[in-house]
Amino acid sequence: MRFWPLLIMFGLLLTPVAQAAFSVASSTNYWIVADSLNFAGTTSTSSNYRVDDTAGELATGVASSSTYQIRAGYREMIVSSLAITMPSNVSLSPDLNTAGGGTANGSVIWSVTSPAGYSLAVRDNSTPALQTSVGQSFGDYGGSPDFNWSVSSDSSAFGFSPEGDDLTDTYKNDGSNCGSGSGTTGHCWDGFSTTDQTVATKSTGPNTSRSTTLKLRAEIGADKTQTRGGYTATIIVTATGL
């Protein structure tokens, strides 16, 4: 049985970086993150360029030291600096036989940069996540994180285990259980859902790249006969600035 690559899709929510030099004005209908009194300014674009200009300000630009960074001026304050990498599609290996059981594995890494913190969530595009174009599928693994991966002999399943320094408590372990402790690798297997599952979060900067690895696994039990075909899953990953 041949596993086709997982199709990796991304969602990216950009939020303004927190600034101390201005106040936020809001109502039930509007939110103004920065205001400035000037006599002119607009955004101009062409097929090759975009220019954001403001007239009437003095001493604008970015100034920094080893401790502080100042973004002076209206245009400088309005920034969205959340960034996420775009990994390639993933192929699980080895190919599995349709009878007799077996396990295929793969992994994918996302790196997020956000000076104001971030959260990273995963979900699938369909239920079950791993299936063929004609409706054959692997079951979604479990309903909550299991410390050790386990599939009964008469079933098949597809799931994931996240690894990284910013894991949520749900996917950390104390050496024998999930949901507590500080262990962040090799355990706490879960199944995908069409609802976002937050796997990593960091409440503050610094503005450095933070990586989360998603270990992927598909298994056919020894007594399960799985229909031949190419099985594909579409995983949607959303990074949100905090």
The torsion defined by the Cα of 178, 167, 211 and 241, in degrees rounded to 10, comes to 150
Which of 44, 60, 77 delimits the end of a domain?
77
Closest by CA position to 120, among listed 6, 236, 8, 233: 236
Total count of domains within the chain: 2
CA 48, 50, 54: angle at the middle one, nearest 5?
155
pLDDT, residue 161, reads 97
Q: Residue 32 has what pLDDT?
A: 66
Residue 95 CA from chain centroid, whole number: 27
How high is the pLDDT of residue 150? 96
The tokens for 205 are 């900067």
Residue 2 covered by a domain: no
pTM: 0.70
Q: Do 73 and 90 fall within a single domain?
A: no
Residue 1 within any structural domain of the chain = no
Nearest in space to 127 (alpha carbons), one of 116, 140, 118: 140
120 and 64, same domain (yes or no)? no
Residues 6+ apart with CB under 8 A from 55: 38, 39, 40, 41
Task: Note the Cα 45 to chain centre separation in Å.
Answer: 32
Instruction: Report the pLDDT value the prediction gives residue 140, as an integer from 0 to 100.
Output: 96
pLDDT of residue 5: 43
Residues 153 and 72 both lie in one domain: no
Query: Residue 34: what pLDDT?
Result: 63
For residue 160, what are the contacts with CB-CB under 8 A and spacing of at least 6? 122, 141, 189, 190, 191, 192, 214, 215, 216, 217
pLDDT under 50: residue ranges of the chain: 1-22
**Residue 181 domain-assigned (yes or no):** yes
pLDDT at residue 203, as a whole number: 85
Same domain, 41 and 149: no
pLDDT at 206: 60
